[in-house]
């Protein structure tokens, strides 16, 4: 980015991607969600492209009822004129199969790309702090009753350990208290 105004504009445009993504998920507008990604996005076993990605989101998001997604703490790092990375926190309240609600808290680790003057998601990785139900033991993954897009297994409770600074802090201070 050449000027601070251009950098600021890019950051706002990128942050709008996360807000539009959440709105698309909650309103079940999967075409809008897929349109936020680069046109040749990798959609897992469904292949490549926005149509394949839309199919994956339709499969995933048909597994739960209503949802209310809140994205916050969106940090964006501009790499160059056409690439950026970011971390954005997510809290999702989600209606599950029995009609009750579950709360999920995680963070997206994103890669962004600008094409044709517009910013898109190039890749998103969702990592979880917790879901307000009993979690499986540390290191155990689960794919039943809640699946992530692209069929990836999820590892609950992998945050904040994912942050290198968290590990360095405890290496310096000592072992974290039990249960942390």
Q: What is the pLDDT of residues 12-45, one digit of tens each?
A: 999 999 999 999 999 999 999 999 999 999 998 8
pTM: 0.83
pLDDT digits (tens, 9 = 90+) for 89-104: 999 999 888 888 889 9
Beta pairing class for 118-131 and 83-95 = unpaired
| Number of domains composing the chain | 1
Domain range for residue 112?
Answer: 4-173
Structure tokens at 78: 């501009």
Distance CA 137, CA 117 (A): 45
Distance CA 141, CA 102 (A): 18
- Sort 73 into a burial class: Cβ within 10 Å, 0-12 / 13-18 / 19+: exposed
Beta pairing class for 118-131 and 67-80 = unpaired
User: Quick one: pLDDT at residue 157?
Assistant: 61
Distance CA 56, CA 45 (A): 9
Cα dihedral sign, 148-152-154-160: negative
> Domain with 16 in it: what CATH number?
3.10.450.50
pLDDT digits (tens, 9 = 90+) for 103-137: 999 999 999 999 999 999 999 999 888 877 544 44
Residue 180 domain-assigned?
no
Residue 28 domain-assigned?
yes
Distance CA 138, CA 33 (A): 32
List all residues 6 or more positions away from 179 whose beta carbon is below 8 Å from its beta carbon.
none
Residue 127 domain-assigned?
yes
Residue 71 domain-assigned?
yes
CB 144 within 8 A of CB 175: no
Structure tokens at 1: 């980015």
CB 138 within 8 A of CB 33: no
Residue 179 domain-assigned?
no
Residue 178 domain-assigned?
no
């Amino acid at each position: 980015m050449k000027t601070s105004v251009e950098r600021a504009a890019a950051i706002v445009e990128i942050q709008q991607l996360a807000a539009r993504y959440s709105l698309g998920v909650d309103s079940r507008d999967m075409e809008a969600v897929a349109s936020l990604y680069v046109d040749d996005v990798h959609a897992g076993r469904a292949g490549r492209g926005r149509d394949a990605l839309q199919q994956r989101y339709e499969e995933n998001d048909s597994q739960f009822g209503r949802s209310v997604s809140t994205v916050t703490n969106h940090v964006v790092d501009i790499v160059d004129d056409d690439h950026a990375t970011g971390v954005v926190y997510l809290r999702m309240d989600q209606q599950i199969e029995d009609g009750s609600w579950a709360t999920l808290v995680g963070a997206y680790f994103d890669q962004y790309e600008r094409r044709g003057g517009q910013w898109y998601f190039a890749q998103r990785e969702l990592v979880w702090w917790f879901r307000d139900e009993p979690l499986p033991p540390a290191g155990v993954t689960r794919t039943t009753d809640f699946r992530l897009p692209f069929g990836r297994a999820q590892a609950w409770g992998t945050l904040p350990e994912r942050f290198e600074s968290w590990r360095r802090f405890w290496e310096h201070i000592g072992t974290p208290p039990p249960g942390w």
